Amino acid sequence: FVRTAQSCHGRPIFALFCGDKDAEGRSWCPDCVTAEPIVRKELHNLPDKSVFIYCLVGDRAYWKDPNNEFRRNLKLTGVPTLLKYGTPQKLVEEECFKAELVRMLFTED
């Protein structure tokens, strides 16, 4: 994730972190299942030249490990997390269900 984000340096970067999906394409994380379509519906509001990264954080066991790389390096505390990389602006868990808040994250400074 970090490498991809660094390669986009200079552009606004938004990222959605979700639990891994199974063979049928369904995530083990029920909140991620709810949030993903809502977030995707707001993608057309992303500012020009911005980048949207969709990142899977592993299976449930890996995510629960308090030392996993996402918790350690990116300081993620929950999934789903939708954030604006390099800023303190983020939405966590049920906050991602609210289209209004997603839109605010994408469109406002």
Site residues (vs other proteins, CB under 8 A): 87-91, 95, 98, 100-101, 104, 108
- Is 32 part of the annotated catalytic residue set? yes
Written as one letter, the residue type at 27 is S
- Is 29 part of the annotated catalytic residue set? yes
Q: Give the residue with the Cβ less far from other proteins, 6 or 107.
A: 107
In 12-59, which residue ranges form alpha helices assigned H by DSSP? 30-41
Q: Give the residue with the Cβ less far from other proteins, 48 or 108.
A: 108
Show Cβ contacts of residue 6 under 8 Å, excluding neighbours closer than 6 positions. none
User: Token pair for residue 103?
Assistant: 């839109």
**Minimum separation from the CB atom of position 4 to other proteins (A):** 22
Q: Phi then psi for 24, rounded to 5 degrees?
A: -85, 5
Separation of alpha carbons 2 and 5, rounded Å = 5
**Minimum separation from the CB atom of position 33 to other proteins (A):** 22
Q: Give the residue with the Cβ less far from other proteins, 24 or 100.
A: 100
| Catalytic positions, written as ranges | 29, 32
